[in-house]
Structures are given as structure tokens and as C-alpha cells.
Amino acid sequence: MFLQAITKATLDSMDIATDESVENYVSKCADFCWLIRFHDPPVYIMFEEVKEGDHMDSKLYRSYTKTGKTMDFVVWPPLLLHKDGAILSKGVAEPKKGN
């Protein structure tokens, strides 16, 4: 029930046309995020403010479809074992084209 509410709120806030596959993806993302928060200590999702043009830190992010040195946008944030812990999974980011 709770995950359905998160999924609905997320879909309602998105300004895109949704279909069953998008709803399924958002639901699975919500489920994943919910489960990792119950790890002891909780897995840390590194939501940091990233601005267009910031340096692309290769220790924290891997490139999505292009290579470059400055950030365009974040696709998925880095996951850490716990706050200030080791990296479980690098985030995914799209660098700006042509830099």
C-alpha cells in the first residue's frame, strides 16, 4: 500500500506520458529504495545537488551515453554502504556533449 502511494505520487509529479512499463519501472525503483533503507546501517543514497557544468567525478559517477568532464544531469545517484561509507555502486550521469 505504501509503495503504491509512493509510485502514484512519483508518477503524478512527472511531466511525461506514462504507460504500464513506466509504472512498473517506477514501482520497482520505489521498492528497491524502500528495501535498502532497512539495511542496518541503512544504505546511503547520495542525493547531492549537482548543477549543470559541475565537474564529472569519475570516483562517484560513470558516464551514461557520452563521455565528458562536466555534468549535464544525474541519471541515478551513487549508493554508499552507509553515510560516509564505501561506494556500493557508482552513480550514473550524463556529461555535457563536447567537453
Q: 89 and 47, same structural domain?
A: yes
Q: What is the pTM of this model?
A: 0.67
Q: 71 and 54, same structural domain?
A: yes
Q: 49 and 27, same structural domain?
A: no
pLDDT of 3 > 70? The answer is yes
pLDDT digits (tens, 9 = 90+) for 77-89: 999 998 899 999 9
pLDDT digits (tens, 9 = 90+) for 11-62: 888 777 778 888 888 888 888 888 887 778 888 889 888 877 899 999 999 9
Q: 47 and 10, same structural domain?
A: no
Tally the C-alpha atoms within 13 A of residue 31's C-alpha that lie toward its C-beta: 8
Please state, in angstroms and rounded to a whole number, the distance separating the CA atoms of residues 85 and 87: 7
Based on the structure, what is the number of domains in the chain? 2
Which residue range(s) make up the domain with 72? 43-99
Q: 49 and 16, same structural domain?
A: no
Q: 31 and 48, same structural domain?
A: no
